[in-house]
Structure 1
Amino acid sequence: MHPGFVRAPELLPTPTAADLPAERLAGTRCVWCGGAATDALNARLSVVKGELLRWEPRSCLPCLRREAERVYNIHIKSGARCTHRDYCPDSKALYELGMPQ
């Protein structure tokens, strides 16, 4: 993927939409912990109660960084294109998102 097209928040898996309370689906609360939401994860499509739902999850910064670090660690261990000497654009974006500056 071209580095200009990588958006790290879009690489993060979210909890199943059907299992979330309304305020987490609406993006007013963090999708993971239910705290105050500050960061957009971008629109997602999910099937909830048999209907296609477009929702816009948001996250608090601690959860965003934790999830980015978790996904980054999985990615660099299992991604065929991603080696420790030549990280791919996805891993670079996840690293920047997950590691405090």
Structure 2
Amino acid sequence: MHPGFVRAPELLPTPRAADLPADRLSGKRCVWCGKPATNDLSARVSVVKGELLRWEPRSCSYCLCREAKRVYNIHIRTCARCTHRDYCPDSRALYELGFPK
């Protein structure tokens, strides 16, 4: 994949849409903790109550960083393209999101 196409927030898994209250589904509140949302995670498509739903999850900065770190640590242990010297574009994007300078 071309590094310019990698968008780290799209790599983060979100809670099941069917289990979320309306304010988290609408993007007004963080999808993980319910605090005011400041970061876009990109549109998602989920099945809720038997119907296809397009929703736009958002997160607070703390949860975004925490989840990016968690996913990055899983990714570098399981990605066949990542080695201890060279990391794939996905891992680099997750690292930049989870470990800001």
Shift of 1:21: 0.2
Structure 1 CA distance, aligned partners of 2:83 and 2:48? Answer: 38
The equivalent residue for 2:7 is 7
Structure 2 CA distance, aligned partners of 1:46 and 1:83? Answer: 33
Aligned length: 101
Question: Where do 5+ consecutive residues of structure 2 fail to align?
Answer: none
The equivalent residue for 2:41 is 41
Question: Where do 5+ consecutive residues of structure 1 fail to align?
Answer: none
The equivalent residue for 1:64 is 64
Shift of 1:84: 1.5
Shift of 1:100: 2.9
Structure 2 CA distance, aligned partners of 1:68 and 1:84? Answer: 19
The equivalent residue for 2:87 is 87
Q: Is 2:17 the partner of 1:20?
A: no
The equivalent residue for 1:54 is 54
In structure 1, give the amino acid aligned to 2:20: L
Structure 2 CA distance, aligned partners of 1:62 and 1:50? Answer: 32
Identity value in percent: 80
Residue aligned with 1:45, SS = strand
In structure 1, give the amino acid aligned to 2:62: P
Deviant stretches of 4+, over 2 Å: none
TM-score (norm 2): 0.99
